[in-house]
Amino acid sequence: MKEIFAQISDLKLHPFSDNDIEIIKEYKPNQVVRCEIHGVKKPRSLLQLRLYWATCGVVAENTENPQWDTKGKVDFQNRVALHFVDPDTVAVRPDGHVVYKYRSIAFRNLQHIEACNYFNRSFKVMADFLGVDDEKLIEMVKER
């Protein structure tokens, strides 16, 4: 399954980026496709999501720490550091140990992510890990 981002106008979907256009070109004209739609009212949220994943990649490339050396590990470290848990799936074991399930950093969760200022807080976590200012970290990402 492929995922694209699109904007809706006049009951039509319009690809959000060049990458989304390339994905759509893989399908034939008038081909029926199955879609699952999640929306966000602020286009800035989508740009922040993409910046977040790009930043996770830059952090992973700039460390040899085995806990932070992949995009996925950096993402997980952020979710743990910011305690980005799903309150519906918290469990307490018989010995009293609390087990958390962390929320996904996905398009469908953008509304909650934005509401708790997750992106700005995570950029600070990643910048602190690398020992740079968060503005410097964003500059490094945008240079790539």
71 lies in the same domain as 107: yes
Comparing 19 with 107, the larger pLDDT belongs to: 19
113 lies in the same domain as 79: yes
24 lies in the same domain as 54: no
Query: For 10-34, what is the mean pLDDT?
Result: 84
pLDDT in tens, 79-129: 999 999 988 889 999 999 999 999 988 877 777 788 788 999 999 999 999
26 lies in the same domain as 42: no
94 lies in the same domain as 27: no
| Per-position DSSP letters for the chain, written without gaps between them | -----EEEETTEEEESSHHHHHHHTTSPTT----------S-HHHHHHHHHHHHHHHHHHHT---TTSSSHHHHHHHHHHHTT-B-GGG-EE-TTS-EE--BPP-SGGGHHHHHHTTHHHHHHHHHHHHHTS-HHHHHHHHHH-
- Determine the structural domain holding residue 12 and report its residue range: 1-37
- Counting the structural domains of the chain, the total is 2
Q: How confident is the model at residue 31 (pLDDT cuts 50, 70, 90)?
A: confident
Among 45-49, 57-61, 86-90, the range of highest mean pLDDT:
57-61
pTM of the full structure: 0.68
